[in-house]
Chains A and B, each alone.
Chain A
Amino acid sequence: MKLKNSLLNQYLLIILLAIMIVPISFLFISIVFFNYLLIDEEPNKYQNGADLEAMWHAEAQSLSGASNEQINEKLIKIKNEYSEASVFWVDETGKTMGKLPENQPVPPIWSTSLTIDFMKKNRGLEADPYTVVSLIGKQKDEGFMVLQVPRSVMLSTGQSLQDRYSFAIILSVVAILAIFIFISWIFFYKIRKRLLRLQRAMSNPTESGIPDSISVEKKDEIGQLEVSFNEMIHQLEDSRIREKEEEMLRRQLIANLSHDLRTPLTTIRGHAFSLKKEELSNKGKESLDLIDNKIGYLGQLIENLLSYTLLTTGKYPYYPERTDMVRLVRTSFAAWYPVFEGAGFQMEVEFPEETFYWEVDPQRMERVLDNFYQNIYRHARKGAYIGVKIDAPLQQIIIEDRGPGMRGESIEKGAGIGLSIVSLMLKDMRLKWETDTGNQGTIIKIRKSS
């Protein structure tokens, strides 16, 4: 994968930014401040003591031979130019001749010791105010003049700027840090948002049970994840379609198989029936009856076999609904009544006035009962008894016979596929059946599985 499209790339950039941000931002801000502000700002004329000193000495020299008035005028001029400074001058006799401003504590008469003391006090780099003493005149015998500037106004431009703008600089740094935090938050927020979108897409299946595919906007790692997700969706859809096709094929196969088996059976039955109309011995007629009987049995077996196949693969139709059980059992037994009547069965039915409801598929329930009746009709003829009862308070269906029991021998004993179907169907409907079987008969109870 190209580094350009990688989230790693972006992440590294942010980390780099994090490492560099403090020094770089200071540097950057300083450059911005000093470049812009220094140019705009007037240079401080007090900032350089040497300049002041040179200026003062030059002025003192230029006043050589000047009158008192000329000197005073000059000082006023200088004072106007350097308003922060205070100046005074003393003539050759040691008398203070002029001072600006007027209120400064300058002794009127300068004795030698006073002068030396003044010089001593105002000497050095730390002395405040900064003092320059110049002797007036070329011969330096016309007195002296003094310039005093408070140290506080002698700060360099940079220093004074720093003092004035330090708050702004800190604020800028904080702002830059905030922007950095914001950028990294945006970075993770975006990742989070996209991950959440993917998560939502995965957990929101459509009607088909498969989530929709999603649009891929970027080519980074998450984008690739989205591409893979879409591929997976397509595969799922494909397999779902294949599964449906297979199911269709299976159903078709079963339908065709059933058709192919039943059609010849119908033909055989037809011919047996035609044959029966011919002149036949009693033995011949018995054989034909047996053939007819077996054809019916085979038809039933085919039906059961195919149902069983569908049931075990979960393809048997299942539409559960709230069902009136007394009504269902009564109706289903009504259809079988003539059959048992014809076979000379003694029939006992007991249906209560009060009914109860089960959540079952009526078609399946009928099938279950049909299978039980069929078994009794086929295997319990010897007992010639069938009892169908409903116990409403206990919610159970009871089917009774007096045949040889399920373990007993019957002429038409099969593989028990009918009962396997019964078990599977009841299990799907959350019902269970119990048998109490012996050689005196069988009692079957169908009830809800708890």
Chain B
Amino acid sequence: MRRILYIEDDLEIGSWVQEDLEQRGFNVKWLKTGEGAEKAVIHSDLVVLDVMLPGLDGFTVGQRLKKEAPQIPILMLSARTAVDDKLQGLQFADDYVTKPFHPDELAARIEVLLRRSGLSASNEIKLAHICVNLSENTIIDQRNGEEIILTGKQYQIFMHFIKHPNQILTKEQIYESVWGEQYMEGDKTLMVHIRYLREKIEKNPGSPEIIETIRGIGYRVKQ
């Protein structure tokens, strides 16, 4: 069961979000203030943190939590205007949702964050004819049950797509997160890698089904 530490001072929103997330299958521990959060964070997989808290403000609490448990993702909820929050808040937060948020959006963001830290709802993701097993790090072609072996960079690129589902990633974004260096305009390395990746995972690399090209913008993997 995936455990969420939820810190929110507003009782109405708090009870509603707790209920909603529990219905979606999360184990939610709800704190009304930042007190005790540092202890509770150790027993959590993800923190949903409201910016406006009585006593310590959400930013301070978030920074302390990040210090205590750097590997636990933090999702900020804010009712303040994005103007000042975004700059301060995102320095430690892994994601950011502005009120009034939609519960589906919140759940989707939580799901993405959990997947990035390796705590997906299911360990298996099905994409067209292939099945990705996240706990075993295998990619199986379900047509013949054979494992698809990827090179280091191909695997990194593919996992980057898996961790950012349904998101359109520009070639700069992919290159910089996989290679860890500044993308140079006109560099064809990424295109070459994606072509080889497609040859391995797509049924027909000429008209790809899994890694979709968004012309002029980038690539996307829908789930």
Partner of A265, one of B81, B100, B167, B185: B100
Q: Which residue of B lies closest to A333 (CB)?
A: B217
A255-B80, A262-B100, A310-B83 are contacts. A331–B173 as well, Cβ < 8 Å?
A: yes
Residues of A near B80 (CB, < 8 A) are: 255, 258-259, 262
Contacting pair B185 A303 (CB below 8 A)? no
The bracket for how many chain B residues form the interface is 35 or more
Which residues from chain A contact B16 at a C-beta distance below 8 Å? 267, 270-271, 274
Per-position binary interface string of chain A over residues 46-71, scored 1 when its CB falls under 8 Å from any chain B CB and 0 otherwise: 00000000000000000000000000
Tell yes or no: A355 within 8 A of B by CB.
Answer: yes
- On whether the beta carbons of A263 and B170 are closer than 8 Å, the reply is no
Q: Is B190 an interface residue (CB 8 A)?
A: no
Interface status of A327 (Cβ within 8 A of chain B): yes
Interface residues of A in 270-311 (CB under 8 A from B): 270-271, 273-274, 292, 295-296, 298-299, 302-303, 306-307, 310
Contact assessment for B100 and A334 in the assembled complex, using a CB-CB cutoff below 8 Å:
no
Say whether B98 contacts A350, CB under 8 Å. Answer: no
Q: Does A353 contact B (CB under 8 A)?
A: yes
**Contact indicator A303/B81 (Cβ below 8 Å):** yes
Are B218's CB and A317's CB within 8 A?
no
In the bound assembly, the distance between CA atoms of A269 and B168 in angstroms comes to 28
Given known contacts A258-B80, A266-B99, A292-B102, A334 and B12 CB-to-CB distance under 8 angstroms: no
**Is B79 interfacial (CB 8 A cutoff)?**
yes
B217 contact set on A, CB distance < 8 A: 330, 333-334, 337, 349, 351
Q: Are B82 and A265 in contact (CB under 8 A)?
A: no
On chain B, the residues within 8 Å of A271 by CB distance are: 16
Q: Encode A110-151 as 1/0 by CB contact (under 8 A) with B.
A: 000000000000000000000000000000000000000000
Known: A262-B99, A331-B170, A334-B217. A270 touches B81 (CB 8 A): no
Given known contacts A267-B12, A270-B12, A353 and B185 CB-to-CB distance under 8 angstroms: yes
Q: Answer whether residue A316 sits at the interface, using C-beta atoms and an 8 A cutoff.
A: yes
B100 and A255 form a contact (CB under 8 A): no
Question: Is B185 in contact with A334, judged by CB distance below 8 angstroms?
Answer: no
The verdict on A269 contacting B102 (CB below 8 Å), with A334-B217, A338-B168, A349-B216 known, is yes
Is B136 in contact with chain A by the CB < 8 A criterion?
Answer: no
Docked-complex contact B79 and A258, CB < 8 angstroms:
yes
Does A415 count as interface, using CB distance less than 8 angstroms? no
Do B172 and A331 touch (CB < 8 A)? Answer: yes
Using an 8 Å CB-CB cutoff, how does the interface string of B68-100 with A read, 1 for contact, 0 for none? 000000000001111110110000000000111
A270 B84 Cβ-Cβ under 8 A = no
The main secondary structure of chain A at its interface with chain B is helix
* A74 interface contact, C-beta 8 A: no
Q: A20: CB under 8 A from chain B?
A: no
Q: How far is the CA of A361 from the CA of B100 in the complex (A)?
A: 27
The residue in chain A whose Cβ has the minimal distance to the Cβ of B216 is A349
From the candidates B83, B101, B167, name the one contacting A316 in the complex (CB within 8 A). Answer: B83
A363 part of interface (Cβ distance < 8 Å): yes
Interface residues of A in 230-247 (CB under 8 A from B): none
Interface residues of A in 341-364 (CB under 8 A from B): 349-351, 353-355, 363
Contacts of B152 in A (CB 8 A): none
A417 to chain B, nearest CB (A): 14
Indicate whether A296 sits within 8 Å of B169 (C-beta atoms), given known contacts A273-B20, A310-B83.
Answer: no
B186 interfacial by beta-carbon distance below 8 Å: yes
Contact B99 A299 (CB under 8 A): yes
Contacts of B86 in A (CB 8 A): 363
A177, CB-defined interface residue at 8 Å: no
Query: A351: which B residues are within 8 A, CB to CB?
Result: 216-217
Whether the Cβ atoms of A255 and B13 lie closer than 8 Å is: no
- B191: interface (CB < 8 Å): no
**What is the distance, in angstroms, from B54's C-beta to the closest C-beta of chain A?**
12
Asked if B128 is at the interface (CB within 8 A of a chain A CB), the reply is: no
A258 and B81 alpha carbons, distance in the complex (Å): 6
Residues from chain B with a CB closer than 8 A to the CB of A258 are 79-81
Q: Give chain A residues whose Cβ lies under 8 Å from the Cβ of B13.
A: 263, 266-267, 270
A378: interface (CB < 8 Å)? no
A22 within 8 A of B: no
Residues of A within 8 A of B185 (CB): 353-355
Q: Given A267-B16, A295-B100, A355-B185, A330 and B216 touching (CB < 8 A)?
A: yes
Over the window 158-183 of chain B, the binary record of Cβ atoms lying under 8 Å from chain A Cβ atoms (1 yes, 0 no) is 00000000111110110000000000
Interface contact A334-B218, CB-CB below 8 Å: yes
* Cβ of B164 to closest chain A Cβ, rounded Å: 11
B134 within 8 A of A: no
Residues in B202-223 with C-beta less than 8 Å from chain A: 214-218
- Per a CB cutoff under 8 Å, which of B81, B99, B167, B169 touches A307? B81
Partner of A273, one of B10, B99, B102, B170: B102
Nearest-CB residue, chain A, relative to B103: A273
CA distance A27 to B172 in the complex (A): 97
Asked whether A306 and B83 contact (CB < 8 A) given A331-B170, A334-B168, A353-B185, the answer is yes
The distance in angstroms between the C-alpha atoms of A353 and B99, with both chains bound, is 38
Asked whether any CB of chain B lies closer than 8 Å to the CB of A447, the reply is no
Tell me whether A307 and B83 are in contact (CB under 8 A).
yes
Chain A nearest CB: distance from B223 CB in Å? Answer: 13
4 closest A-B pairs by CB: A349-B216, A270-B16, A262-B79, A265-B100
10 contacts between A and B (CB under 8 A): A251-B84, A255-B81, A258-B80, A263-B10, A269-B103, A298-B100, A317-B83, A327-B170, A335-B168, A337-B217
9 additional contacts (CB under 8 A) given A259-B52, A269-B102, A270-B13: A255-B80, A255-B81, A262-B100, A270-B20, A273-B103, A299-B100, A303-B81, A337-B217, A363-B86
